Amino acid sequence: MTHPKDNAFWAEATTIEHTSSVGKMTGLEAHGVAVFRGIPYAEAPTGPLRFAAPERRAHFAEPFDATRWGATPLRKSPGFDIPEPVVPGDDILNLNVFAPAHALNGGAALPVLVWIHGGGYVSGSSIGAWYDGRQFASEDVVVVSISYRLGLDGFGHIEGAPDNRAVLDWICALEWIQDAISSFGGDPANVTVSGQSAGGGAVLCLLATRAARGLFKRAWVLSGVLESITVDKAALATAGFAEAVGVSPDIAGFASVTDTALQDALLATGALLTFPPVVGEELFPHGISAGIAAESGDVALVIGATADETLWTPGETALDRSDVVAQFEAENVPPDEAVDAVEQIGSLHELLPGRLITERLFRSVVPAVLSERCTAAAPTWVYDYRWAPEKSGLALHCNEIPVFFGLPEAETVTPVLGTVPAEVAASFHGSALSFVRGEVLDWMPAESGVLKMATGACTVGDARSTPSDAFSASERLAALFH
């Protein structure tokens, strides 16, 4: 088995022995930071467990080697700028713990930051170098990054199997944290859950389900999605996918195909979010948006997006407004409302395909969530990440991740982002650190669910991105699609 090469920070690490509440294990320590990799929180989802709810892993009978990354659900790297290594193996329901070494000696009760990776619910990895928790750990925060089932294995509606198996994975990992994190120096009563893109969508799901109540105190959503699918439509999507891969749309049919083959087939479609979380069942009986309003008003929240999310393709041709209106009408948007939404976007931006995805899929989530937090007892803070690297001139999807983690100068980051201004790095990571510690941010929180640039958002970065009036371009989209 091959394993990803360590970066310079961990290349100097020495092995350490640690006795945790789940058993003895060997980890690594470098520069006062400890890491324990690939700790299984649930049994390997193979055989009869492949499409079942996760089963908590028993305590280790023998010392566990946590010096190597665990197996990843992702079977092939998509080749994006973000380094997301692939590690083969079946024990994919694992997590990684980063902690200050001094906290392992007992008696510490440090804040905990949980990270859920993105990837459209079909891709991604918890062991990407941009998600390394060493900086937070050096600042006395315990970081946990988790793996979960992807694609059809994690989200497909299959007769006889529980829906939202990946959501159950997230909850299982959070329950493990409640039970075990104190033995790594963390405080189970002081947990912040965070994630980006589909990982941000995961956080919104956790905010929306009663099953996750009490498992975390705060949440930070980076460019999250609010996509979901009803049970009936999920069944149709599963049937169509089963036909495409040549199997019956049931447990026996899909069990006859490896998860690698299913991932390949799903990624080959090029479709976005084919298998998002399923609503209308036990976890989300009223949907995700309504669940956020009903279940998590006592959870403090930070939510935001980058300015230019999916404007990846240079030289895109702007779409005609009438064509965009027709697209919206095809999705059952009333004609007058479709015209208003397109006019709102077009008054601030060119109607580029990438801009439309940016506003609809990501930036419109911010006002949509704010509208559900109108009566929340806990505060909601909003950020608008606008700093753009010289290479692209745009604040693109994922650009904020290494800055959030305090890693702007990491060797895998600078080829993509170049030099991140010190004030941007200090502002964004510093705010994340303060929030995780339970401190009140020096941004004014949004009031009554209404976002106003002067009172509701923190603008991160400079003015090189296309200017806009905060999230106003996507306010009508929020009402129409979320």
Q: Where are the beta strands (DSSP E) in 101-238?
A: 110-116, 142-146, 186-196, 218-222, 229-230
At residue 470, the pLDDT reads 65
DSSP annotation string for 9-50: HHHT-EEEEEEETTEEEEEEEETTEEEEEEEESB----GGGT
- Please give the backbone phi and psi of residue 224, each rounded to the nearest 5 degrees, phi first: -75, 160
Helices (H), 222-334: 231-245, 251-255, 259-268, 288-295, 321-330
Q: What is the pTM of this model?
A: 0.94
The tens digit of pLDDT for each residue in 387-425 reads 889 989 999 999 999 999 999 999 999 999 999 988 889
The tens digit of pLDDT for each residue in 271-291 reads 778 899 999 989 999 999 999
Which of the four pLDDT bands, split at 50, 70 and 90, describes residue 161? Answer: very high
The tens digit of pLDDT for each residue in 117-146 reads 999 999 999 998 999 999 999 999 999 999
Question: Is the dihedral angle over the CA atoms 398, 401, 402, 404 positive or is it negative?
Answer: positive
